[in-house]
Amino acid sequence: MTVPAPAPVPSAGTPAGHFDARALLDPVNPAEVDAFARAQRAADRSSAGQIVAWVAVGFALLCVVPVIGIMILGLGYTIGRGTGVAVAGLLALLLFAGLTVGIVMLVRRGIRTRNLTRFRLARFAGANAMSYFERIDDPPLPGMIFSSGSSRMSTDVLRGVEPRFVEFGNYQYTTSNGKQSQTHRWGYVAVKLDVPLPNIVLDALGNNTLGNTVAGAFSGDQRLSLEGDFDRYFSLFCPAGYEVDALYLFTPDVMARFIDHAAQLDVEIVDDWLFLYARREVSTLDPATWAWLFGAVGALLTKLDQWARWRDDRLRLSGPAAQHPSLPAYGAAAPGPAGAPALPFAAPQGLLTPPPPGVAPPGQRLKRRSPWVIVGIIVGVMLVVTMAPFALGIFSFLFLG
């Protein structure tokens, strides 16, 4: 949910096309941080409940457990266990109390650090024409990482709406194999496009983020080789039959922009969204990370207008396309106040052509490889490895004597 941002850092004098990073670095007033944290707790009952739970646990550790321990020691002493046992037990209790105090202090320091991070990000958002969202549960985005696992959530989300809708956030989800669970963490940038486009994935070869996951998940006939040096930086996957469309979208100038500015990011185009993925947090207090992200998005935005002219000729043959899912929470974001500045990478927009009907069903999603094919390949390899010694033995017996 949205938390009202503190008073924004004045950005007067900031050159156009640059962002104001002072909120990430300047000293802050602790009273303002505390007030911001209280506003968050008032707006989000779940976070308030977590704090109450921590207080209850701390009270139990500091008060209840030691009292029970002292009662047990007293009972042991009264039944003649001896002074030595009581002294040893008392020392153990003192050690336990010290550890408890240390743990509580660490937890409090962690909460304060987290509150400071949220405060700085909210202030940074306010200074750069964006809104701050502490947490969004199960965000309704169509990207590949947003449909995996459980306990899905975006955190520290910064969102702007001019010159087009762009969202920066950290994302996590949990997978389990029945015995143990694993939490997967990503950073992402979501850019709203003008029209739905075919599902295209660019697996960046320089970060090994998606790597074999993409190569193994999608059918091999969907891999498309592009001209120039593009294949040295990305593996491109597009739906079979949409190769010409991919070439139309990824012209040499567009490919150059991706190579120069997004070679360390995995990219997915799905419906009317462009996603940039990183296996690290992108919503941070590091100004260099924001400079990189703003530069990458700004460089790509100048080339996205030509994508708005794309049309899927297959719709005339296949009939009306299936409606693409509408995401009111994302597509209908409230604009900023009148006269508010645009995002730091703002660029003038030309006249946009009306949106096309959409994408024909074959191009809306990449086809994923059947898991039985993968199982068959694994079984086949295991059989070959297992039977190889016997085959060599038979060959030697028959032909080598």
Tell me the C-alpha distance between 266 and 126, whole Å.
Answer: 28
182: in domain: yes
Residue 328 confidence (pLDDT): 47
Six-digit token string for 27: 């000293």
Q: Who wins on pLDDT, 343 or 96?
A: 343
Same domain, 198 and 213: yes
**Statement: residue 145 has pLDDT above 60:** yes
Burial of 270 (0-12, 13-18, 19+ CB in 10 A): buried
199: in domain: yes
Same domain, 42 and 174: no
Same domain, 31 and 174: no
The domain in which residue 261 lies consists of 132-364
Same domain, 184 and 257: yes
Tell me the C-alpha distance between 67 and 93, whole Å.
Answer: 10
Same domain, 155 and 184: yes
Same domain, 289 and 343: yes
Residue with tokens 């153990």: 92
Residue 263 CA: distances (Å) to CA of 111, 230, 330: 35, 10, 27
Same domain, 326 and 353: yes
Same domain, 277 and 193: yes
Identify residue 391 by its one-letter amino acid code.
Answer: A
85: in domain: yes
384: in domain: no
Q: Which of 71, 92, 127 is the last residue in one of the domains?
A: 127
Least confident among 20-34, 105-119, 383-397: 383-397
Any idea what DSSP says for residue 220?
G
Q: What are phi and psi of 189, to 5 degrees?
A: -125, 125
Tell me the C-alpha distance between 157 and 151, whole Å.
Answer: 17
Q: How far is C-alpha 78 from the chain's CA centre?
A: 60
Q: What are phi and psi of 94, to 5 degrees?
A: -65, -40
66: in domain: yes
Same domain, 158 and 259: yes
pLDDT band at 185 (very low <50, low <70, confident <90, very high): very high
Q: What is the pTM of this model?
A: 0.72
Look at the chain and report how many structural domains it folds into.
Answer: 2
200: in domain: yes
Same domain, 250 and 156: yes
CA distance from start to end of the chain: 78
Q: Who wins on pLDDT, 207 or 274?
A: 274
16: in domain: no
Same domain, 73 and 109: yes
**Statement: residue 95 has pLDDT above 60:** yes
CA-CA-CA-CA torsion sign (379, 382, 387, 388) = positive
352: in domain: yes
Same domain, 123 and 161: no
Tell me the C-alpha distance between 358 and 362, whole Å.
Answer: 12
Residue 96 CA: distances (Å) to CA of 53, 69, 72: 21, 10, 15
Once rounded to an integer, what is the mean pLDDT over residues 256-269? 91
pLDDT band at 336 (very low <50, low <70, confident <90, very high): low
Least confident among 77-91, 191-205, 294-308: 77-91
Burial of 184 (0-12, 13-18, 19+ CB in 10 A): middle
pLDDT band at 304 (very low <50, low <70, confident <90, very high): confident
**Statement: residue 24 has pLDDT above 80:** yes
Least confident among 18-22, 33-37, 350-354: 350-354
Percent of the chain residues past pLDDT 90, beyond the cut = 33
Six-digit token string for 342: 């645009």
β-pair partners for 157: 133
